[in-house]
Structures are given as C-alpha cells and as structure tokens.
Structure 1
Amino acid sequence: MTHHTAGRSPRVTASRCLPGRWTWPVRLAVLVTSLLLGLGAMPAVQAEPGYAAYLDLPAVNGDGAGGGGLNPALPLDESVLRAALDQARADGVAPPRYGTLLHQYWLVVATRNAQIDLAAWDPTRGVAVNERTFNQVYVNYLRLTTEHPELWWAGLAGIAGGSFASGFFDLRDVGVILDVPGIHQLGNAVADLLRVTPAELVAKVPADIKLLATEGSRLSAADVTWYQTRLMIMQKHIFTDLVPMHEAYLAEGMAGIDEMLAAGVIDDGIRTAWQSVASGTRDGYIDALIRMTDREQNVVIADQWDATSGGRGAIGRVLTYVSTVAGKPAVPGVRAPGNFRPAIVSADVAGRTLSLRTPLPAFNWADREDRWTYIMGDLNPRHIDLESNPARAASVLGEPFWNKLARGRAIARIPELISDMTQQWAVVE
C-alpha cells in the first residue's frame, strides 16, 4: 500500500517516484505552455492602414505639366480616394500629412463633374489629343457660374476663356499654314510700317513691336506647337489649383475650405476669398473675384508666363505679344489691349516734336505688372459691371461656349486687323 505524505499531492509523489519517465515531458509541456502564454501577452502586430501609402506625398504634377493627377502614387478612383481620406480623418492623422490625397480627391471630383478624363489629360500629347479637354475646361467654368451665380471668378474664367480658346485655335490654323493671314503677315506688315517711320521714333518703339517685325516672319510650326503646349500646361495648372476648391466649397461649405487650409493645399488669402463668397453680398463677391484672379495670375501661372515669354530665344516674346495684339476678352465693354494702352511714342525729328500713334498694345500680356494693370484697369471692372446686372449676366454667361468660340476667332479678322493697323499707324505733330 502506498501512503501519502501530508501536504503533498499525488502528482508530486508520482514525479518523485518516476523521474525517468515523466520529468522531461512535463518540463517540455510547461515550457511550451509558458511560451504560448508569453506570446499571448505580447501586443499583436498592427496591420498598416490602407491609406498609409498616400500620406506625405508631394504634388509633383501640381503645375499641370504632366498627365494624370498630382502624384502617380495616388489612385484616380474617386471611391478609393474617399475611403482613404475618411479613414485618415477617423484615425486622427494630421491634415498636412494627407494634403495631396485631399487635393487629389477634389481634383478627381472636379474632373468628373467637368466630364474630363484626368488620366488622359496630358498637355504634352499635343493639340489633337487635348482639343476636347481644352474646350471642356471653359464649358465647365460656365456650368459652375450658371448653376451658382455667386461664383463670379468662374464666370470671368468662362467668358474670357472663350476668347482665349479662340486665340488657341487661331494658333492651330497658323501652325498649319504659316504663309496665309497669320503671324508672318502680321510681322511683315509691322516691318513695312517701321521702314517708313522716322528712325528717331522707331528707336522709341517698344521692343516687342520691333521683335514682331524682325522675328515674326521667321516663326516655325515647331514654335507654334511649343507655345500651344505652354498654354495647355497653364490651363491645366489653373484648373488643378482653383477648381478643386470650388467643388470642396460646393459640397461641404467653409468646412471643406478650412480642411484644405489645414492641410496646406490653400493659403489664408484664398480662404478669405471663400469667406467673402459665403457672405452672400455683392462686396463679398467682388472681393472674392479679385482675390481669385490675383491667385490665378500672380501665384499660379506667374512663373509659367515668365518662362514662356523667355523661351525659344526671341520667339517666346513674339508669340506672347501676338496673343496680346489679337486678344480681346469677350466680357462686354472690355477694350482690346491695343485700345486700352496703345503704343504712342514721341521724339525730336529734325527740330520738330513728332509722335507715332499705333493701334498696337504698349505692353505684353506675359509681363506680370502690365497684365495685372490691364486686368484691374479694365477686365475685372467690366466683369463686375456685368455680374451686378443679374439679367444681363444670365444672358451672357448662359450663351453656349461654342458660340463664344466661333465669334471670337481672330484668324478670320487678321486681314481686317492689318488693315486697321495700317490706317491707324500715323506720325503726327
């Protein structure tokens, strides 16, 4: 008979009695159990959130120079972007970390509403590929302002854009047939007029006019193609910057704008513009128009205009000046640049003070200060006049874009422009 010692369990006794048979398995079991319990006590490895790859990305294509969206690492699927954005917000991610994700989301919304294929939008692919998109940008501006009359900047972009697009198509025609009415003929006409003008006056003529005379006839189809690409890049840059914030405001009000500010997508100045829109007052709409125009021209594309003007030797200046000569925004009452500030110079010629009066502009649209002077001196004031008359605004803004495009094409007016120039070019005392 086996006797149990008081205070000891049978298992302990058995272990002592059968050390060779049970000690190792028991110890192994204890070890395994301890390891399993220890692993269970350790924190589980957390899976990386689905949006992690979309954080801290730069907007490498924010200037519109390439195809697609802001960064190739970001998807172009609206639902995927929204899900990632919502999860990042819910997890308390700091807005600056998802700034490009946020911007991309509203850009995708903007291009969807504009009926533009963002994936295919690449200015470097040329005019034929981008023609529909180029037009659709302006169609969309008019859509925004007709659906939301408080968006005065969109109205200006749509109307002036019709004129801009008209000039764009003029360039396409000139690029195809360079020896018909176009830049060659315009440059030759100016050269002929300068030859019969006293040298003392010619010396004071703006440099852009002289360049048109000396370089205009040398323009090539490759030069025009380059310029068209520059224009398309700037157009995409403006859309990429300003239209997403329009969609954020329309969908979420100032909360959408404030998130873009917190994320570093926009600055305080443009946030103030949206606060002005939200005021619902005429003064607010005027303030927003000026601030948005300032951002467009003096922040978004200012450097690109500088680069275009200085590109391809003297040809960049020639092309930007030709755009100035032929340009006349279709806002009612706006003067053509040559009427707003014509080139008029005076000089002493053989003891007499003579003046040369021309219908050509004394400035180049590509130059920042002169461009802003024209915008604030004529373009914006006339647009404010238009928007201040709701019935008139509805009529002008509601006109189909294609009508504006056809009416504004300068190519059909070049012979008339040259005729007017020769008649109005005069040397007087």
Structure 2
Amino acid sequence: MPSAVHCRSPWVRNTTIRAVLVALFGVAALATPASLLAHAAGYEGLLDITPANAAAESIGGLDPRLPTESAVLGAALAAARSDGVAPKRYSALLQQYWLARGSEASGIDLAAWDPNAGLIANAAVVDRVYENYGRYQLQRAELYWSGMAGLAGGSFAAGFWDLDLGRTVLGVDAVHTLGNAVASTVRGLPGEAMALLPADPRTLATVGPAMTAEDVDWYQKRLLMMQKHIYFDMVPMHEAYLNEGRAAVEEMAAAGLLDENAEIAWNGIFSGTQAGYADALFRMASREQNQIIADQWDVTAAARDGVGRALTYATTLAAQPSVPGSRAPGQVVPMAVDCDVNGSAYRLRTPLPGFNWADREPRWQYIVSDIASSYQRLAEVRPGELRALLAIPFRDFVESQRVLRRVPDLARDMSTGWELSPAHP
C-alpha cells in the first residue's frame, strides 16, 4: 500500500542508512564520526608503513609511498594526531616529516637524493649534510654529536674527493701508490715475518696496485649510501629537537623511532649538564656506528673479491681525522706482530694501522678513545675554537683536509717506518 512507503519510522530510515554504510565501508563506519572520516583522507595510505628505503641505499626518502614535501607531510601528521591515531602507526610519517624539514633547511632535494648517481651528482649534497650537522651544534651548544659529525665530515668529504674519478684518475693512482709502497716493503721481509703479517696489508699489497676506476666508483657509492643512512636516522630527531624541543623527541620515542640507548642519550641532553651532553655524544656515536651503518660496513668490506677489504684498509691508512687533538689510526693503534725468524723471537713494527675501519669493535674503540674524546675536550674546554671551526665555509675546510696532497709522504712513510728487531721478554 502507498501509506506503507511513506510512513517508515526514523529507526527504519537509520537502519537502512547504516546498512548502506556497512555495505560500502565495512563495520568500522558504524563507529566513525563524519569529522574523523574527513580527517582520514589527509593521511590515507600513510599509516603502518614499514619503510622500503630505511637503509637509504636508493633514491628519495624513506619510502616511495610517503610525500617528500614537509607541508604535505605536516598536514597529514596534524590530522593523524588530531584523530588520536597511535604514534606507532604514524612512525614512518613522523620520521619522514622531520627528515623533510631538515632536508629543506639544509638545501637538499630529498626526492632527488640518489647515492647511486655517484659523487659528482651528489657533490653539493655531501657538503650540505655536514654543514647541517654543524648548524645544529652552532644553534644548540648541547648537541655534541652533531658538532662532531660536522667536523669529522671535513676529512670524510675530503676522502670522497681524493677518490673522485669524475675529474681525474688520481684517486686510483693514490690507491696504486699506497698499494705499491706496502708491496715493495712486504717483499723485503723474511718469509716468516711476511707470513705473520695480517691479511689487510697483504690484501692492499696485492689488490691495491690493480685497482680499477670502477672499483673506486663502487666504493664511493657505498660511502654515499652510509652517509645518507646516518642522515636519515639522526636528522629527524635533531631537527625535531631544534624546532619543538623535548616534546617532539618524546613523540618520536612514543612512535618507536628511538630505542633505549637513544632515549637515555636524549635524557642526558635534557638534563642540561655537561655530563649529560658527553654521555649523549658517546651514545649517539654508538648508535651511528654500531647500529645504523654497521651492516653496511660489513657488506662493503666483504665485496668484490678483496677490493672492498683493500679499499677500506687504504682509507684507514690514509685517514687523518679533522677533529682537533685526534690522531691518525696508525698512531693510535700501530700494527706490530711477533714472529720466529730462524729460531729466534722477533717483533715486526710497522707504520700501518693495526685495524681496518670496516671492522666494528676496533672502529668503535678508536672512536671512543680518540675522536669522540677529543671532541668532548674541544666542546668543554675550548668552545670558542669549536665555534670558529664550524663557522669556516665547509668547502674551504674540506680542502684543508685533502689526503691526496699527502700521498707521496704517506707512501714514503709506508716504505721507511718498518722495523724487525729481537723481541724482548
């Protein structure tokens, strides 16, 4: 009857509407206010993301599903917060937001950042990464790790250019020179002593002289990946702190982006004490070296049938950290081996470093005992000198750290600093 159509109760009408909503959107629509549905469109597809580019080995940001513009990311993040979304669900969005903020402040195009493009394409990015670390330290004196990264980046970036193949093949020639210097000395050792020489100098002596441009280009790209990986991890938390303070860092912790070690480090910074700042320096350095890029160093050193090992050792040998007071690896941990020559005990002393930077434990011990300790003293005792160093235009600072100018002297030292003498009880 017609009256049956026009006399439905409100309950019947609501039931019909709810049935349609269930059919279209599922059960969740029953409990979702209209305002929440409107907000959700702002972060749709941006929750519960496990970043595909977390190790920073590909072009762009953390994941291709995430925008790279901070304004877009910020709007999505604000909507998720407003709707009470659990921080762990928007962790990738949060990290990418602060990463984008830091990149924009640094002058880095996050979407176009591609370590696989090589050094020439990334030349400006390399500099801006370390300039940005220095910016954090200059603006907030308590951020020791970032200042150390900015200073140490001078020698790291200089090493990039010393290996550069885009302008010259001197990078390859330098490796050849060091390899030949070690090889010529090794050939002059008694057989017993040569047999006991650790594998790294023997690999450099055999593989170094035959190094190719392609080998060095590959190694540069591996270093560029590690540089980007550290930036992906460290910049979001520092940029968040610089702009919004403790609450922003605590949100990152709530999102699961900081482990216990990182939380303790930031609590040290929040303490407002030099002891807290120093503790944060060492904890953040440990995070960088022992968590973020440790696996990438392992892969690099093991690659290309000895080439990776030879190149990581060559750069250890040539290293001269740019943190005032720090010493070269060969000075801190010189290589010495005991051997038996014709029935008598001898000790072979060398000018070579007794470790390879690619190896986790000795790398960390060197950083703790020398580079980080030197930086702590600089920050605490000579802050004016530190600020002056960080204020130097980065390109000028890098040029002052170039190892290539020292290659002839290094080669001479590699040839003359050897001593085989009777071992003393």
Post-superposition Cα deviations, 1:261-298, rounded to whole Å, max 9, x if no partner, equal 11111112111111111111110110000110000000
**Which residue, 285, 290, 293 being the options, matches 1:293?**
285
Relative distance call for 1:170 and 1:178 in structure 2 (3 A) is closer
Where does residue 389 of structure 2 map in the other structure? 396
Amino acid at match of 2:263: R
Deviation at 1:33, TM superposition (A): 4.9
Query: 1:127–1:228: 8 Å Cα contact kept in structure 2?
Result: yes
Deviation at 1:29, TM superposition (A): 5.0
Amino acid at match of 1:63: A
Matched, 1:120 2:112: yes
Query: 1:165–1:405: 8 Å Cα contact kept in structure 2?
Result: yes
Matched, 1:305 2:294: no
Matched, 1:282 2:274: yes
Deviation at 1:176, TM superposition (A): 4.0
Matched, 1:360 2:357: no
Distance 2:165 2:120 in 1: 12
Distance 1:179 1:110 in 2: 32
Distance 1:213 1:92 in 2: 61
Query: 1:178–1:184: 8 Å Cα contact kept in structure 2?
Result: no
Post-superposition Cα deviations, 1:239-262, rounded to whole Å, max 9, x if no partner, equal 000111001112222211111111
Distance 1:179 1:78 in 2: 38
Alignment of 1:18-417 (within 5 A): 27-34=1-8, 38-40=12-14, 42-43=17-18, 47=37, 49-50=40-41, 51-173=43-165, 176-177=168-169, 181-389=173-381, 390-417=383-410
Distance 2:206 2:167 in 1: 19
Distance 2:76 2:131 in 1: 31
Query: Mind listing any 5+ residue stretches in structure 1 that lack a counterpart?
Result: 1-26
Distance 2:60 2:103 in 1: 11
Deviation at 1:354, TM superposition (A): 2.6
Where does residue 25 of structure 2 map in the other structure? none
Query: 1:66–1:123: 8 Å Cα contact kept in structure 2?
Result: yes
Distance 1:33 1:251 in 2: 60
Relative distance call for 1:96 and 1:347 in structure 2 (3 A) is same
Post-superposition Cα deviations, 1:58-101, rounded to whole Å, max 9, x if no partner, equal 11111111111111111112122111111111111111111111
Amino acid at match of 1:266: L
Amino acid at match of 1:268: E
Relative distance call for 1:52 and 1:180 in structure 2 (3 A) is closer
Query: 1:175–1:225: 8 Å Cα contact kept in structure 2?
Result: no
Deviation at 1:220, TM superposition (A): 1.0
Amino acid at match of 1:164: F
Matched, 1:427 2:420: yes
Deviation at 1:173, TM superposition (A): 4.6
Amino acid at match of 2:86: A
Amino acid at match of 2:78: D
Query: Mind listing any 5+ residue stretches in structure 2 that lack a counterpart?
Result: 22-28
Relative distance call for 1:188 and 1:83 in structure 2 (3 A) is same
Deviation at 1:203, TM superposition (A): 1.3
Instruction: State the superposition RMSD in angstroms.
Output: 1.9
Distance 1:259 1:239 in 2: 19
Amino acid at match of 1:78: S
Deviation at 1:415, TM superposition (A): 0.5
Amino acid at match of 1:408: Q
TM-score (norm 2): 0.91
Name which of structure 1's ranges 160-169 and 352-361 shifts more when overlaid on structure 2.
352-361
Where does residue 17 of structure 1 map in the other structure? none
Post-superposition Cα deviations, 1:23-78, rounded to whole Å, max 9, x if no partner, equal xxxx2254155389733553466546111211111111111111111111111121
Relative distance call for 1:28 and 1:241 in structure 2 (3 A) is same
Relative distance call for 1:364 and 1:175 in structure 2 (3 A) is farther
Over alpha carbons, which structure has the higher Rg? Answer: 1
Post-superposition Cα deviations, 1:138-184, rounded to whole Å, max 9, x if no partner, equal 11111111121111001110111110111111111599426974111
Query: 1:269–1:291: 8 Å Cα contact kept in structure 2?
Result: yes
Query: 2:165–2:217: 8 Å Cα contact kept in structure 1?
Result: no
Equivalent position SS for 1:111:
helix
Query: 2:165–2:213: 8 Å Cα contact kept in structure 1?
Result: no
Equivalent position SS for 2:60:
coil
Amino acid at match of 1:419: R
Deviation at 1:400, TM superposition (A): 2.4
Query: 1:175–1:224: 8 Å Cα contact kept in structure 2?
Result: no
Deviation at 1:185, TM superposition (A): 1.5
Q: Which 4+ residue blocks in structure 1 deviate beyond 3 angstroms?
A: 35-48, 173-176, 178-181
Distance 2:361 2:388 in 1: 32
